[in-house]
Amino acid sequence: MKSMAVLTASLALAAAPVFADDVTDTMSSALQAYEEGDIDYAIEELEYAKSLLTAMKSNALSSFLPVAPEGYTREIQNNSSNVMGFIGGGTHAEAEYTNGTDTFTVMMVADNPMIAATGAMISNAAMLGMKIERVGRQKFINDDGTLTALVDNRIMVQAEGAEVGVLLMILSTIDYASLQTFGG
């Protein structure tokens, strides 16, 4: 009886349609174009698939952006991932927070070579005489009210546009331990 239930469930799963998404559709189209000898179109489709994957990764990073504090609204900026190619690649997520009169932003950039190159400076900011603010175990450089940290030596978190106390409060809501696992 038990084996009959397993067999029935297996057949039901095997008969279920496989749903493709835009990425697999585009990659299939690229493969078809390649097999037909249309290399230019295959490259175009692969570039489009890459842009879709990059957007998915950016959306995943956006999930680490803090929710809006009481009295504020949050707007995720979706137009910035295209810029990342010009500065070495990586993944970018940014949100603008406003209460009608005051506005501030929180930005995250992951796996960017330029960020990694400045990692030593950010990690040793106190030794360089820079002002440091702490959010739990996370150290932020305070550069005239712009707070910048490097998480896991590869993810920059930056907040600016409000009083330092407000920025520290919003930054304290980020789950830095989970952020370290981004992309891994």
Alpha helices per DSSP H over 16-141: 22-35, 39-62, 113-117, 119-123
The pLDDT of residue 87: 54
Q: In the numeric block, which tokens belong to residue 166? A: 């407000």
Q: What is the pLDDT of residues 78-115, one digit of tens each?
A: 765 555 544 567 888 999 999 989 999 999 999 888 87
pLDDT by residue (tens digit) across 127-144? 777 888 999 989 999 999
pLDDT value at residue 153? 86
Residue that wins the pLDDT comparison between 126 and 146: 146
Q: What is the number of H-type helices and E-type strands within the chain?
A: 7, 7
Question: Which amino acid, 129?
Answer: G
Query: In which band, very low, low, confident or very high, does the pLDDT at 159 lie, cut at 50, 70 and 90?
Result: very high
Q: What is the pLDDT of residues 16-32, one digit of tens each?
A: 343 358 889 989 999 99
- pLDDT score at 6: 35
Domains of the chain by start residue, with CATH? 2-55 (no CATH), 66-179 (3.40.1000)
**Pairing mode, if any, of strands 103-110 and 155-160?**
antiparallel
Q: Which of residues 121 and 177 earns the better pLDDT score?
A: 177
pTM of the model: 0.75
Instruction: Give the DSSP letter of residue 61.
Output: H
Name residues whose C-beta falls within 8 Å of residue 105's C-beta, 6 or more positions apart in sequence. 94, 95, 96, 97, 159, 160, 161
Which pLDDT band, with edges at 50, 70 and 90, does 59 fall under? confident
Q: Averaged over 165-182, what is the pLDDT? A: 94
